[in-house]
Amino acid sequence: MRDQVPLVLRLFARFIPGDLREPIAGDLHEEYLAMRQRRGAVRADGWLWWQSLRLALTFRWERAAHGRPLPPIGDELRGFGSMWDGLRQDIAFGARMLRRQPGFTAVALLALALGIGANTAIFSIVDAVLWRPLPYPSPNDVLSLGEQRPSENRVHGPVAPADFYDWRSDNAAFAAMAAIEPGPANISGAAEPERVRAITVTAEFLAVIGVKPARGRDFTREDEAPGRTLVALLSDGFWRRRFGAAPSAIGQAISVDDEPCTIVGVLPAAFWWTTTPDIVLIYPTQANAAASRAQHSMDVIGRLKPGVSFEQARADMDTIGKRLSAEYPQTNAKHAPHLYPLQQALVGDVKPALLVLLGAVGLVLLIACVNVAMLLLAKAAGRGREIGVRLALGAGRARLVRQLLTESVLLAITGGAAGVLVAAWGLSAFRAIAPASFAALPGIAAVSIDLRVLGVALAVSAVTGLVFGAVPALTASDQKLTSALQEEGRGGSAGARSARVRAALVVAELALSLVLLVGAALLLVSFKRVLDVSPGFESQNIVLAPVDRQSGTNADVVTFYQSLLERVRALPLVDAAAVASPLPFVGVDGRTGFRIEGRTTQSPIPVRARPRLISPGYFATLGIPLLRGRTFTDRDVKGLPDVVIINAAAARRYWPDDNPIGRRIDVTFADPPRWYEIVGIVGDVKHAGLEQDTDPEAYMPHAQAPYSGQARRLTLVVRTRTPLATMAPMLKNAVIEIDRNQPVGAIRTMEDLIAASVAPRRLNLWLVGAFAIVALVLTAAGLYGVMSYLVAQRTREVGVRMALGASPASVLVLMLRQAGAMMVLGIGIGLAGALALTSTLSSLLFGVTSKDPAIYAGVSLLLALVALLAIAVPSSRATRVDPLTALRDS
Amino acid sequence: MAATDVTSLGEFEHMVLLAIMRLGDEAYAVPVRDEIARCTGRDVSRGSIYITLDRLETKGYLKSRLADPTPERGGRAKRYYELRPRAVDALKESRRALVALWRGLEAALS
């Protein structure tokens, strides 16, 4: 019958003390059989595992705690057991030592919890965003393709539709290639009209990312043909929300931006794309191929054929690029396709910031390590007698080091456990303050403290314990037996060697802090410089309301916006109003090539501008200065001469030596050309963000728009002294009065948009700043602790000096001289380290170089002041030593 | 000495001793736990039963013997417990003390 004994029982029985093993295992077996009859084998097996584990643990700990000798455990595990027993003794002893000094333990645990917690939190973010592959099959084969235009300083710009079609048909390297244009869409039919997140893609989009629809069918090339009914795929969430997860949604007709559209499928719930679209629409082939070669609007992705390398794909695309440049010099001169992995394209912007954060928390952890090492060293010195006695009783040095290291690893792992709590708290705080743009990062939604992160936290804790424990353990166990016993009871300084170690630790701590402080100061100054940049218009008191008008003819749309503006301008407390597209600090911004009347096609610089459609009154509403000529009036409408206003950057670039007013340009590349006369020049606006250079821009009246799509998607810009909460319903009302089926997008203030545009930088500054402050506090605490210890050690010496007539001032100088040397050395090494390391920050800096002397000087001064304070307090205590007491105590 | 030991009988130890007394010849860990559960309604962990039995034996309140192995226990022996006279004395003393303390208090609780 013995072979019927469950394996778990045989296994765990070995952990039960020998004299009790037999009856306990028997009892469990008996109960197990009874339970199997009553509740089935599965429940009984689970129960047995759980009970065996509990009993095995309870027993060993209980007996150990009550000081009874542990009976030998099973022969098979004897080797493991004796090692475990030794380790257990060390752990129990270490735990007792830590409990006995609650002050020391609390300080060390706090430092470690902060250090490990910050590292765990940042690691979980970096890991999820940078190091986990994209959620697609063979993600490394998915590349992002862009257009390289060196003359415009663009390495990976958007692609023109006609170029994409050529790339797609001519390449030999890609199994599938697709283009994507993000943007909102108005959905109506079935339920209330709604503005949703959409992407417009070509047929093989899902094939590139390796996703199949969960229901219905994928897009085909036939769906792209012009004139066919639009087709759409729904996201799982949108399908559930709007269609109640009805299978009949497939095949249903809806209306997208007032065009009929058929739903052909539903995406799987796990589908992920950076813009988290609700609906994926087919991109119909453009009719006007020439114009679509000048307008760069598409993101392109491709999946490599099996066996094709990145280099082969690049060579293949280069050949196509060269052919297109030769064939279409007017639009494609000096253009080349540019490739890199999709993951890199998606996280490229945040990668340096995340790595800097990881570096910063690493420094914090190192500082925490140094701090705890100093504490341990001071403690070990106090334990000189204990260690001396143990050496005298025959303990080997290795055994002592093992004991001391066990203590420090125990401390680190306890600190690490607290650190994981700190990290969990930190992550929820991070989610609350993370800027909206972070939501587009891959993996950011899945950031959590999972097993992998816990594993890293455990490993970091253990290594941390070894790192900060090694120096004190080696130093402490290296005592000369006799000196340890002789020095007992006397306040003489510990050996010269441990004093050197302590000084080295102080120097290291100061140096590490300085590096972190310089980094934080550079980011702080950069942030200040960014905020000091003028956006080129008055951003206060501006309210924005996107209104996407899809129904009616082009003329109807113009009339709609005109009557909307009339209503809005009549609202109380509205100072000025206009409509425009696109607006500064609002998402996607295209650019278009144009030709200048009378100039040859072979321009030395690419002739390209960002097109803006605006209504009269736009410049006045935003406070953009008119530099020359005139602004638009109500007479600049369709049928009258087309007019355009350029910004100063366009005037500088294309008419550096003459007056552009009166010149004519064409953005349509139509035949015959549609000429727009330049009637004015306005000031530059920081359209893409405060840190970006201003590109050439061309403002056109929306009534004379060359592109009907953009003219339907305008945003109401209102200058008002009324708060947003009051203004928003009034604006919505004005729209509804004209057409109650017309949706309005999110209404926001311009200042919110500007704040959102600097949010990633602000977050980065806050985090690095917080880490730097933690580092400063830890350093000050460490210095304070070491100086207090040194002062206490030298009490007798100071007493003698004062008894012999030394003044308090001379004692203070004596103490400060010792600390001052460490301080100067630490700051010196820190400066060198900062010079070497802060160059990694350069991509995050703005308006300041990574070697700015003023910042280095200021930070050194700050650190020196804090250090002096931390040194002065305990030193001044030395001057108050009463010689009599000091001498009597010894 | 005996008096000190009596006062050191914990509540749970007390219950275990009484359960063994009630079970007579059939007192091993499984029925002891069941008996406590039946009489008091408390579901106690197996670990604490074994620990307490172990401790009571160390303190000299219990003696135990291994019975012959049986097949329904995977060929493993049962450990039966019985009270030593000390335990009976301790229980008597404990009961006496409690009864003395309770005397006259019944009315106060009703």
Ordered alpha helix ranges (H), B1-110: 2-7, 11-23, 29-40, 46-58, 85-102, 106-109
Cα of A96 to nearest chain B Cα, Å: 24
Give B-chain residues touching A22 at CB under 8 angstroms.
Answer: 66, 76-77, 79
Nearest-CA residue of chain A relative to B80? Answer: A23
State how far the alpha carbon of A18 is from the alpha carbons of A71, A72, A73, A94, B53, in Å. 6, 6, 6, 28, 15
Contact (CB, 8 A) for A381 and A494: yes
Determine contact: B28 vs chain A, CB below 8 A: yes
Judged by phi (left if over 0) then psi (alpha if -120 to 50, else beta), residue A191 lies in beta
Eight-class DSSP state of B72: G
State how far the alpha carbon of A407 is from the alpha carbons of A97, A376, A462, A473, in Å. 8, 10, 11, 10
Determine contact: B71 vs chain A, CB below 8 A: yes
Cβ of A2 within 8 Å of Cβ of B75? The answer is yes
Determine contact: B68 vs chain A, CB below 8 A: no
Indicate whether B70 belongs to any domain: yes
Nearest alpha-carbon partner for A761 in A346, A156, A349, A274: A349
Radius of gyration for the alpha carbons in chain A, expressed in angstroms and rounded? 36
Cβ of B79 within 8 Å of Cβ of A20? The answer is yes
Contact (CB, 8 A) for A517 and A775: yes
Question: Which among A20, A22, A51 has the least Cβ separation from residue B54?
Answer: A20
Determine contact: A553 vs chain B, CB below 8 A: no
Question: Which among B45, B50, B73 has the least Cβ separation from residue A20?
Answer: B50
* Cβ atoms within 10 Å, residue B44: 16
Cβ of B50 within 8 Å of Cβ of A29? The answer is no
Question: Which among A25, A62, A63 has the least Cβ separation from residue B76?
Answer: A25
Indicate whether B108 belongs to any domain: no
Interface probe with A: pick from B50, B56, B64, B68, most Cβ of A within 10 Å:
B50
Residues B7-18 have a mean pLDDT of 83
Q: What is the CATH number of the domain that holds B95?
A: 1.10.10.10
Cβ neighbours of residue A830 under 8 Å, at least 6 residues apart?
Answer: A510, A511, A512, A513, A514, A515, A518, A860, A863
Q: What ranges make up the beta strands (E) of A202-334? A: 215-216, 230-234, 253-256, 259-266, 279-282, 295-296, 299-304
Determine contact: A500 vs chain B, CB below 8 A: no
Predicted pLDDT of residue A787: 77
3-state secondary structure of A645: strand
| Residue-wise pLDDT tens digits, A348-401 | 777 888 888 888 888 888 888 888 888 887 777 667 777 777 777 777 777 778
B81 pLDDT exceeds 90?
yes
Indicate whether B59 belongs to any domain: yes
Determine contact: B77 vs chain A, CB below 8 A: yes
Predicted pLDDT of residue A234: 94
Determine contact: B97 vs chain A, CB below 8 A: no
Nearest alpha-carbon partner for A333 in A345, A346, A323, A318: A323
Nearest-CA residue of chain B relative to A61? Answer: B51
Cβ of B28 within 8 Å of Cβ of A27? The answer is yes
Predicted pLDDT of residue A76: 37
Cβ of B66 within 8 Å of Cβ of A26? The answer is no
State how far the alpha carbon of A306 is from the alpha carbons of A138, A141, A175, A344, in Å. 10, 8, 8, 20
Nearest alpha-carbon partner for A426 in A458, A444, A449, A460: A449
Residue numbers in chain A where pLDDT is lower than 50: 1-3, 69-80, 481-482, 487-494
Cβ of B76 within 8 Å of Cβ of A62? The answer is no
Cα(A160)–Cα(A669) distance, integer angstroms: 14
Place of tokens 């300083």: A153
Give A-chain residues touching B77 at CB under 8 angstroms.
Answer: 22-23, 26
Cβ of B78 within 8 Å of Cβ of A33? The answer is no
Question: Which among A4, A30, A59 has the least Cβ separation from residue B30?
Answer: A30
Sign of the Cα torsion A876, A882, A887, A889 reads: negative
* Cβ atoms within 10 Å, residue A629: 17
Determine contact: B65 vs chain A, CB below 8 A: no
Predicted pLDDT of residue A614: 92
Angle in degrees, CA A196, A200, A202, rounded to 5: 155
Give A-chain residues touching B71 at CB under 8 angstroms.
Answer: 1
Predicted pLDDT of residue B2: 42
Predicted pLDDT of residue A786: 76
Indicate whether B109 belongs to any domain: no
Cα(A531)–Cα(A523) distance, integer angstroms: 12
Name the maximum alpha-carbon separation found in chain A: 108
3-state secondary structure of A253: strand
Angle in degrees, CA A108, A113, A115, rounded to 5: 95
Nearest-CA residue of chain A relative to B68? Answer: A23
Question: Which among A4, A27, A58 has the least Cβ separation from residue B30?
Answer: A27
Number of domains in chain B: 1
State how far the alpha carbon of A98 is from the alpha carbons of A92, A155, A465, A478, A699, in Å. 10, 58, 14, 22, 72
Cβ of B74 within 8 Å of Cβ of A26? The answer is yes
Cβ of A62 within 8 Å of Cβ of B74? The answer is no
3-state secondary structure of A510: helix
Instruction: Count how many pairs of residues, chain A against chain B, have C-beta atoms within 8 Å.
Output: 70
Cα(A838)–Cα(A526) distance, integer angstroms: 13
| Residue-wise pLDDT tens digits, A226-276 | 888 889 999 999 999 888 888 988 998 888 877 889 999 999 988 888 888
Determine contact: A31 vs chain B, CB below 8 A: yes
- In this prediction, residue B25 has a pLDDT band, given cuts at 50, 70 and 90, of confident
Contact (CB, 8 A) for A470 and A405: yes
Contact (CB, 8 A) for A219 and A233: yes
Predicted pLDDT of residue A426: 85
Indicate whether B78 belongs to any domain: yes
Cα(A332)–Cα(A294) distance, integer angstroms: 8
Buried b (16+ CB within 10 A) or exposed e, A403-427: bbbbbbbbbbbbbbbbbbebbbebb
Give A-chain residues touching B55 at CB under 8 angstroms.
Answer: 66
Q: Which domain holds residue B10?
A: 2-103
Determine contact: B50 vs chain A, CB below 8 A: yes
Q: Please state whether beta strands A191-201 and A279-282 pair in parallel, antiparallel, or not at all (unpaired).
A: parallel
* Cβ atoms within 10 Å, residue A4: 10
In this predicted complex, what is the ipTM? 0.85
Predicted pLDDT of residue A543: 93
Eight-class DSSP state of A334: T
Torsions phi, psi for A75 (to 5 deg): -55, -40
Amino acid (one-letter) located at A716: L
Cβ of B79 within 8 Å of Cβ of A22? The answer is yes
Predicted pLDDT of residue A286: 66
Q: Please state whether beta strands A626-629 and A336-341 pair in parallel, antiparallel, or not at all (unpaired).
A: unpaired
Determine contact: A71 vs chain B, CB below 8 A: no
Cα(A533)–Cα(A539) distance, integer angstroms: 12
